[in-house]
Amino acid sequence: MKRREFFNKSFKAGVLTTTSLLFGKIPNLLAFPPDKYDLVAIKGGEPDVMFDKAIESLGGMKTFVQKGNTVVVKPNIGWDVIPERAANTNPLLVNRIIKHCLDAGAKDVYVFDHTCDSWNSCYSNSGIERSVKDAGGKIVPGNSEKYYQQVSISKGKRLKESKVHELILECDVFINVPVLKSHNSTDLTISMKNLMGIVWDRGYWHRNDLNQCIADFPSFRKPDLNIVDAYSVMMKNGPRGVSKSDVVNMKSQIISTDIVAADAAAAKLFGRDPQDIEYIKYASDMKIGEIDLSKLNINRIIL
């Protein structure tokens, strides 16, 4: 067997193993009553179909969005790359979330990110700008300091204050939609790290114990819902990626109101112990959320 062939087969086998860590061999059997789930883990479908099923099992979007609400949907739009590179959130998922919000009666659904690459190019080439407009949402910039307001983070250990985008401070509902992928500074980037896209000075976090700052910020503002896009997952060379060969198609999503639980489940899906991802452990120690998935009522759905 050629070396490259061996690597590819080993890599794919590893992905199957990591997926089983979260889903096991349970094909949609419920271990708890279906009246209130802490987390939904779903796999095997397209992003829009999986979200339809997952949000339905949480009581529908009307559980989170009321008539007349202003909603912010925050995907990862940080990189000027095409969707197939999986550096940004899947545009089909973003589109579907917005439609559910509007169907639930939302007055406005805003989408933005404080991007790493040029924001115009990121919005366009990620496919997210078009998906937002097609769904009836409003995509707005995050590229100017004038959009951000200073806030205090009283419970933060290293992050004591930050400038936060005004839409986050003013909205009724905040929906966080990260993409699961590898990251060269934090091993993984998931829900908590995606919140770096709603603040102005990301550099401060990098200079002052990045993992602790990531854990500190949710003590100020937790999203009302976290939807982890694990449809296509960048397994190496994150956060931007090098090529499509870095990406594995996992066809999965994880949804929870608990940001720590969402990240813990996503870490397991990736094949990592959540305790080994520093910011997840720090946030757990700060009682931001639950890292022990055995304590949660999880709905595991396989399509």
Whether the Cβ atoms of residue 94 and residue 177 lie closer than 8 Å to each other: yes
Question: For 62-76, what is the mean pLDDT?
Answer: 98
24 confidence band (pLDDT: 50, 70, 90): low
Averaged pLDDT for residues 213-231: 98
Average pLDDT (64-84) is 98
As given in the structure block, the two tokens for residue 28 are 């949609």
State pLDDT tens for residues 251-288.
Answer: 999 999 999 999 999 999 999 999 999 999 999 999 99
Q: How far apart are CA 113 and CA 292, in angstroms?
A: 30
Domain ranges across the chain: 26-302
231 Cβ neighbours under 8 A, 6+ residues apart = 46, 47, 50, 86, 90, 93, 249, 250, 251, 252, 253
- Please determine, for residue 5, whether its predicted confidence score (pLDDT) is greater than 70: no
| pLDDT given for residue 20 in this prediction | 57
Mean pLDDT of 228-240: 97
pTM, 2 dp? 0.91
pLDDT at 2: 43
Place 59 in a pLDDT band, splitting at 50, 70 and 90.
very high
Cβ neighbours of residue 134 closer than 8 Å, sequence gap 6 or more? 95
Average pLDDT score over the chain: 92
pLDDT band at 19 (very low <50, low <70, confident <90, very high): low
Task: Indicate the CATH number for domain 26-302.
Answer: 3.40.50.11440
State the pLDDT at residue 4.
Answer: 40
- The model's pLDDT over 170-194, given as tens digits with 9 standing for 90+, comes to 999 999 999 999 999 999 999 999 9
Q: Percent of the chain having pLDDT more than 90? A: 88
Q: According to the model, what pLDDT value does residue 22 have?
A: 77
Q: Kindly indicate the confidence band of residue 39, based on its pLDDT and cuts at 50, 70 and 90.
A: very high
Residues 12-38: what's their mean pLDDT? 57
pLDDT score for 269: 98
CB atoms within 10 A of CB 66: 14
Average of per-residue pLDDT across 189-214: 97
